[in-house]
């Protein structure tokens, strides 16, 4: 029963971290709400696009009197803004953002109008979208699954170490293995397909996603080594806490970004 409760606690922490990541990362869609002539609409603004196609923006607005336009420019620059009109496709207004090289970014604003009245979707700042290459599912899926398992095992091992319960030393080894495969092996593959660089962390650059993965990996190596001959739960607890702290950093924050002036990928 005690082991089962530890599993539940580890699962709760893991799912909490995943939900937090999905709602705070700068590349996940941003939810916005707008009222047009007493009609309320809820939209999602895309902030990441993969592949070689233009990015399609769709807004479900059934009122045929409503039109819309997209204004955009490269980010971060002081270039002139470009405006394009959206087209109506049934009950939707549709527009496109032009394709950018991997790690290239655009900032864009959406504006709707109805019988002379203007309804801007952005009150202040524009939305920033990052483009990337298409990552094959056979590469992306194992990366995501292994990172999920690594986070769960880290939490479970940490909890069991706190209560000195079960063979947490063996679980620490499995945590290190899954983190190594998911973050240090599959992670660079994902990075290569998405941005053309396998590693953008230390010592080559300062990509936060790569660096925080490396930091977690180092702490789990230390935890496993220090528990090789005898139990030292303190090292494992600390490594698990570091893992939670790292997962509290929104995914892709300060990630790869194309410098529009030089064409070199830098830290965003």
DSSP code, position 23: H
Distance CA 20, CA 238 (A): 21
Report the 10 Å Cβ neighbour count for 239: 28
**Sign of CA pseudo-dihedral 8, 168, 234, 224:** negative
Tokens, residue 153: 């095992």
Cβ neighbors of 58 (< 8 A, separation 6 or more) are 92, 93, 94
Residue identified by tokens 């950018």 is: 100
Residue 184 Cα to chain centre, angstroms: 17
How, if at all, do strands 55-60 and 48-50 pair? unpaired
Say what the pLDDT of residue 254 is. 65
Say what the pLDDT of residue 1 is. 65
Domain boundaries, the chain: 2-25+136-267, 37-132
Among 3.90.1170.50, 2.60.40.10, 3.30.450.20, 3.40.50.300, what is the CATH number of 37-132?
A: 2.60.40.10
> Which of 195, 191, 172, 192 lies closest to 257 in space, CA to CA?
195
Phi then psi for 211, rounded to 5 degrees? -70, -40
pLDDT per position as a tens digit, 54-72:
999 999 999 999 999 999 9
Give, for all 268 residues of the chain, the pLDDT tens digit.
688 899 999 999 998 888 887 777 788 888 899 999 889 999 999 999 999 999 999 999 999 999 999 999 999 999 999 999 999 999 999 999 999 999 999 999 999 999 989 999 876 789 999 999 999 999 999 999 999 999 999 999 999 999 988 789 999 999 999 999 999 999 999 999 998 888 877 887 777 788 899 999 999 999 999 999 999 999 999 999 999 988 888 776 667 778 887 777 776 5
Q: Are 237 and 169 contacting, i.e. CB atoms less than 8 angstroms apart?
A: no
């Amino acid at each position: 029963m005690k082991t089962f409760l530890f599993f539940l606690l580890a699962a709760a922490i893991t799912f909490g971290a995943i939900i937090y990541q999905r709602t705070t990362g700068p590349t996940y869609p941003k939810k916005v709400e707008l009222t047009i002539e007493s009609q309320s609409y809820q939209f999602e603004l895309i902030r990441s696009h993969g592949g070689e196609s233009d990015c399609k923006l769709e807004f479900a607005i059934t009122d045929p009197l409503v039109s819309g336009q997209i204004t955009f420019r490269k980010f971060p620059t002081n270039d002139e803004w470009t405006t394009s009109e959206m087209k109506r496709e049934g009950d939707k207004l549709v527009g496109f953002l032009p394709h950018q090289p991997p790690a290239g970014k655009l900032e864009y604003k959406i504006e709707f109008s109805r019988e002379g009245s203007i309804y801007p979707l952005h009150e202040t700042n524009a939305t920033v979208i990052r483009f990337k290459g298409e990552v094959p599912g056979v590469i992306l899926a194992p990366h995501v699954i292994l990172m999920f398992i690594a986070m769960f095992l880290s939490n479970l091992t940490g909890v069991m170490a706190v209560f000195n319960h079960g063979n947490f030393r063996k679980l620490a080894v499995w945590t290190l293995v899954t983190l190594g495969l998911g973050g240090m092996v599959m992670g660079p593959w994902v990075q290569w397909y998405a941005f053309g660089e396998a590693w953008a962390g230390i010592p080559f650059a300062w990509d936060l996603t790569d660096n925080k993965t490396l930091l977690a990996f180092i702490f789990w190596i230390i935890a496993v080594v220090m528990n090789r001959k005898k139990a030292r739960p303190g090292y494992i607890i600390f490594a698990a806490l570091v893992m939670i702290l790292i997962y509290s950093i929104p995914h892709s924050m300060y990630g790869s970004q194309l410098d529009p002036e030089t064409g070199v990928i830098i830290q965003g």
